Amino acid sequence: MSAIETALRQEAHVWRIKRDAGLSPEEQREFDQWMESDHQHGAAFARAEMGWAMLDQIDFGEAALNETMLDGPQDSISLASGVVADDPIEPQPAPMLQRFAPQMAAGMATALAAAIILFFSGVPTMWFGSPEPEAEQFVSEVGQIKYIRPADGSQITLGAASRLALAMDDKQRIATLQQGNAYFDIASDQARPFTVRTDIGEVRVTGTAFDVQLRDGAIAVAVGKGEVEVTATPEMAATSSKQTTTLSAGQAVTLSGDGEFGLVTKVYPAELGAWRLGRLIYFRAPLSQVVGDINRHIDEPMTIDERAGRIEISGAFNARQIDDLLETIERELPVRIIDQNGARHIAAK
């Protein structure tokens, strides 16, 4: 595939995910002009549309919401009772994917997406010295999504293969994300701000909804509603050029392991917490990142060589169809998947 074809394919899928999130009047005019300017644009968009349909065959309507979750068990935990509840919290489904042209019948088995922040992971340490309540530990297994219901009325969704410690009393609400990712829908309490800690930085709110993900020694935060403050740890802040960033609804930022903030970017509703509905969405993400996410949904972890890991990929995939995702990766990218003593390994061609 030529560089021009690759660029056109990516541009088509950028429009695809933007339409899913909802276009402004100005964006709609730009899209119409783009479609009309070249017949190849319509063909590329058709392939993007069909690609999504082939990989995202789940009805995300409320009646079928349970079918959108991963195959592992999904628990709901009430901190008030300390037991697993029978009525798990159901996350609100992302907007239904709207088909731009039903007559478009040919396409790729990929669905390139737009505007996703790179997510990273680390292992936190307790770097805040103030006294705090005893924490309760929560761990999700591979392929499992877990729902936590604190006594304050908040809702926390813990992603697959993730670890979270939660400490609450009448003065503090503190969550320490130790591994993986979590989505927080926090009940408002002006007297008790809610703080999410990692070893890189913390997120502080009084009441809002936001997503926090850890991978490879960095943290990414995306806000669905309200406002959050992202702050580097004292150790990181001492050497970084900026200590704090404030995010509003629809914004996202990354904080690297050396304490540096990336640019504040726009996050679309379809992207925010998409993993809660079994979607894996990427925009120019290194393949090593994709493999890291895949490994949280399969029992036998995959490996990838350094050269293959640097290859960028954009797409929206179904986390319940990992084999389809791997077939797409091998078909569309200059890599091959080989067996190494029973474990899969991705190598650059």
What's residue 21's pLDDT? 62
More confident residue, 344 or 57: 344
What's residue 64's pLDDT? 32
Tens-place pLDDT, residues 25-69: 787 888 778 777 876 777 676 666 655 444 443 333 333 333 333
pLDDT band at 184 (very low <50, low <70, confident <90, very high): very high
Tens-place pLDDT, residues 259-304: 889 889 888 777 787 888 888 888 788 899 899 888 888 888 899 9
Tens-place pLDDT, residues 127-173: 344 566 788 999 999 989 999 999 999 999 999 999 999 999 988 99
What's residue 36's pLDDT? 77
Backbone angles phi and psi of 263, in degrees to 5: -70, 145
More confident residue, 311 or 99: 311
Tell me which residue has tokens 């408002």: 188
More confident residue, 292 or 119: 292
**Could you tell me the two tokens for 264?**
């504040």
The pTM assigned to this predicted structure is 0.62
Euclidean distance between CA atoms 338 and 336, whole angstroms: 6
DSSP type of residue 167? E
What's residue 116's pLDDT? 25
In terms of average pLDDT, the best of 14-23, 102-111, 112-121, 304-313 is 304-313
More confident residue, 195 or 34: 195
326, 309 contact by CB (below 8 A): no
pLDDT reading at 348 higher than 80 = yes
What's residue 89's pLDDT? 41
Please list the residues that pair with 285 across neighbouring strands.
313
- DSSP string covering 307-337, please? HHHT-EEEEEEETT-HHHHHHHHHHHSSEEE
Q: Across all residues in the chain, what is the average pLDDT?
A: 74
Nearest 5°: the CA angle 147, 56, 141 is 30
84, 76 contact by CB (below 8 A): yes
What's residue 3's pLDDT? 64
Euclidean distance between CA atoms 339 and 332, whole angstroms: 19
Detail the DSSP E strand segments found in 59-129.
Answer: 76-78, 83-85
pLDDT band at 221 (very low <50, low <70, confident <90, very high): very high
Tens-place pLDDT, residues 300-329: 889 999 999 999 988 888 888 888 889 989
311, 300 contact by CB (below 8 A): no
More confident residue, 189 or 30: 189
226, 249 contact by CB (below 8 A): yes
Euclidean distance between CA atoms 78 and 145, whole angstroms: 15
What's residue 347's pLDDT? 94
Euclidean distance between CA atoms 331 and 326, whole angstroms: 9
Q: How many CB atoms lie within 10 A of CB 30?
A: 14
Tell me which amino acid residue 242 is.
Answer: K
pLDDT band at 185 (very low <50, low <70, confident <90, very high): very high
Give the list of residues 6+ apart from residue 327 with CB closer than 8 angstroms, or none.
109
pLDDT band at 337 (very low <50, low <70, confident <90, very high): very high
pLDDT band at 84 (very low <50, low <70, confident <90, very high): very low
pLDDT band at 179 (very low <50, low <70, confident <90, very high): very high
